[in-house]
A = this chain, B = another copy of it.
Amino acid sequence: MNDIDLIVRPQTAPRKRDADATRAAILDAAKAQFALLGYDCAVLRDIAGDAGVDVALVKRYFGGKEALFLEALKASFGTDGTKEWDRANFGHDTATMLAGSPHRNPDRTQRFQFLLRAATSPTTAPLLSQLVQERFLAPIRHWLGGTAADARARVFAAVYIGCLVERLVRGDALGGAERQAYIARVAGIFAALVADPPEAKETTA
């Protein structure tokens, strides 16, 4: 059956021994798998397999699954991109990304999928509260600025994540006209959140 593997694998040079590189490879594979499958469904053997090493190294380098998860989570949020977000086109850009292909910004997509999966797994959700505060909400809150920044940041995060989930469920790509309407709506929401004082504020009492 998988004789193919047994034959093909050795072709690739048998991998220079390099602790740092191996550690990094495991961490990368872990980030991808955890983002794709979540903590519970991700399998250490597969992560190690993707990294091209044996499972036992996960223990040696990270200590265990949970520790690996935490490190991957922190690494995923280490480089936070709010700094380079473009204030003017932000709403439209983000909405477009959320409406369509994740290929435009795979890094950002993977980070947020990681967050989403971590948030919705009952195993890992408890670990998130603090980290989300520090590395996710705080930067957004700071980037947004203005009045009621915390509430706006939370709504922002909610809409963002929600769109992600919606796209996750939606199998087919969004059609032309509907897609435009979708983007317009979401862009409008983001724009309103970025522009601090809602001019046409009409909250039902």
Q: List the interface of chain A (C-beta within 8 A of B).
A: 36-38, 40-41, 88-89, 91-92, 116-117, 119-123, 125, 128-129, 132, 147-148, 150-152, 154-155, 157-163, 165-166, 168-171, 174, 177-179, 181-189, 191-193, 198, 200-205
Q: Of the candidates B36, B89, B162, which one forms a contact with A159 in the assembled complex, judged by CB atoms under 8 Å apart?
A: B162
Contact (Cβ within 8 A) A168 B125 = yes
Cβ of A128 to closest chain B Cβ, rounded Å: 5
Contact (Cβ within 8 A) B198 A188 = yes
Contact (Cβ within 8 A) B200 A200 = yes
Contact (Cβ within 8 A) B120 A116 = yes
For A116, list chain B residues within 8 Å (CB).
Answer: 120, 165
Known: A168-B120, A203-B92. A185 touches B41 (CB 8 A): no
Contact (Cβ within 8 A) B162 A165 = yes
Cβ of A112 to closest chain B Cβ, rounded Å: 11
Bound complex: CA of A58 vs CA of B148, how far in Å?
50
For A181, list chain B residues within 8 Å (CB).
Answer: 147-148, 150-152
Bound complex: CA of A200 vs CA of B198, how far in Å?
12
Q: Of the candidates B37, B128, B147, B168, which one forms a contact with A169 in the assembled complex, judged by CB atoms under 8 Å apart?
A: B128
Contact (Cβ within 8 A) B121 A41 = yes
Known: A121-B38, A157-B166, A165-B119. A151 touches B188 (CB 8 A): no
